[in-house]
């Protein structure tokens, strides 16, 4: 059993990059994987909550143990979508329509940045730069990546009618505020939400969904469809970056990684070891009771 104070932890939710992945490894590290598997074996749910897409995370989930009722869900696209690996079902909360997607891309083209867009079914990422597309394929985060990571062509831009997320790469830290304001101020009626998990990136979605709201939506699914009785105080979360901010602001048991940014550490219930030191596994071991 996992327990903090008098609260039983029934759900482990973790960010991926910078939390389960330290920037050098691709797979979840052994101590983290073992602690998560032990928790799953004891009846605890495990869910990754990430800016990534389901196809990018499936092999990482399977590297811990086979997908079952207890690890079949993923919160993707920074809380904007929930995917069920077993049933293949997904739910996207918000998206850009075709006209807005193209207007945003037109703005981005003037900035000379690498960017990509996400398909509505969460199965494809289209990249503006073929070299970066190949880099992501070669990274090996997912099987058959060449089928999911594709060039962004004019034909794609004309045909994509629902886009959950637009991502920028190669953003200089000193330019980030200017770029975010440029995009968000261009579409004031849309209330675009900007967040990121790395110093050189920005993710744009429609404001509303975020990683915390993704957790709230997940608990509703678990309680209504899986017959559970899980409250927010039964959830532990691990994270490190800007896109985890809403979770750390709202969830009681939000644990910052040792490598987390200062804003996250300031809001954390507790701080564990770094991702490189396998801090998720260390903390789960710490709160395990007989």
Mean pLDDT of 25-54: 95
CB neighbourhood size of 120 (10 A): 16
pTM, rounded to two decimals: 0.94
Q: Considering the chain, what is the average pLDDT of its residues?
A: 95
- Report the distance separating Cα 274 and Cα 279, nearest Å: 5
Q: Which CATH entry fits the domain spanning 96-206: 3.40.640.10, 3.40.50.2300, 3.30.1240.10, 3.60.110.10?
A: 3.30.1240.10
- Report the distance separating Cα 142 and Cα 144, nearest Å: 7
Residue 23 has pLDDT above 80, yes or no: no
- pLDDT for 112 equals 86
Q: Which residue has the higher pLDDT, 86 or 188?
A: 86
Beta bridge partners of 85: none
CB neighbourhood size of 61 (10 A): 21
Task: Say if strands 114-118 and 166-169 run parallel, antiparallel, or are unpaired.
Answer: antiparallel
Residue 139 has pLDDT above 90, yes or no: no
- pLDDT for 198 equals 87
CATH topology of domain 2-92+210-286: Rossmann fold (3.40.50)
pLDDT in tens, 55-104: 999 999 999 999 999 999 999 999 999 999 999 999 999 999 999 999 99
172 band by pLDDT with thresholds 50, 70 and 90: very high
Please name which of 155, 55, 147, 148 lies closest in space to residue 98, comparing C-alpha atoms.
155
In the chain, where the domains are located: 2-92+210-286, 96-206
């Amino acid at each position: 059993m996992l327990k903090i104070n008098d609260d039983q932890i029934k759900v482990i939710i973790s960010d991926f990059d910078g939390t389960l992945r330290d920037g050098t490894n691709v797979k979840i590290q052994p101590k983290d994987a073992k602690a998560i598997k032990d928790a799953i074996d004891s009846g605890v749910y495990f869910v990754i909550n990430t800016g990534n897409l389901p196809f990018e995370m499936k092999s990482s989930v399977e590297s811990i143990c086979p997908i079952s009722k207890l690890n079949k869900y993923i919160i993707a696209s920074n809380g904007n979508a929930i995917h069920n690996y077993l049933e293949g079902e997904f739910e996207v909360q918000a998206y850009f329509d075709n006209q807005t997607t193209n207007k945003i891309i037109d703005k981005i083209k003037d900035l000379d940045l690498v960017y990509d867009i996400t398909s509505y079914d969460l199965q494809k990422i289209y990249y503006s730069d073929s070299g970066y597309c190949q880099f992501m394929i070669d990274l090996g985060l997912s099987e058959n990546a060449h089928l999911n990571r594709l060039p962004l062509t004019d034909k794609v831009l004309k045909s994509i009618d629902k886009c959950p997320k637009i991502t920028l790469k190669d953003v200089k830290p000193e330019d980030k505020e200017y770029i975010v304001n440029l995009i968000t101020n261009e579409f004031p009626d849309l209330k675009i939400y900007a967040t990121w998990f790395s110093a050189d990136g920005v993710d744009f979605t429609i404001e509303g969904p975020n990683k915390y709201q993704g957790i709230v939506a997940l608990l509703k699914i678990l309680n209504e469809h899986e017959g559970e009785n899980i409250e927010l105080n039964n959830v532990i979360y691990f994270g490190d970056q800007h896109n985890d901010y809403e979770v750390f602001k709202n969830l009681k048991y939000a644990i910052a990684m040792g490598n987390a940014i200062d804003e996250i550490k300031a809001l954390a219930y507790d701080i564990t070891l770094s991702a490189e030191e396998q801090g998720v596994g260390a903390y789960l071991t710490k709160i395990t009771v007989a």
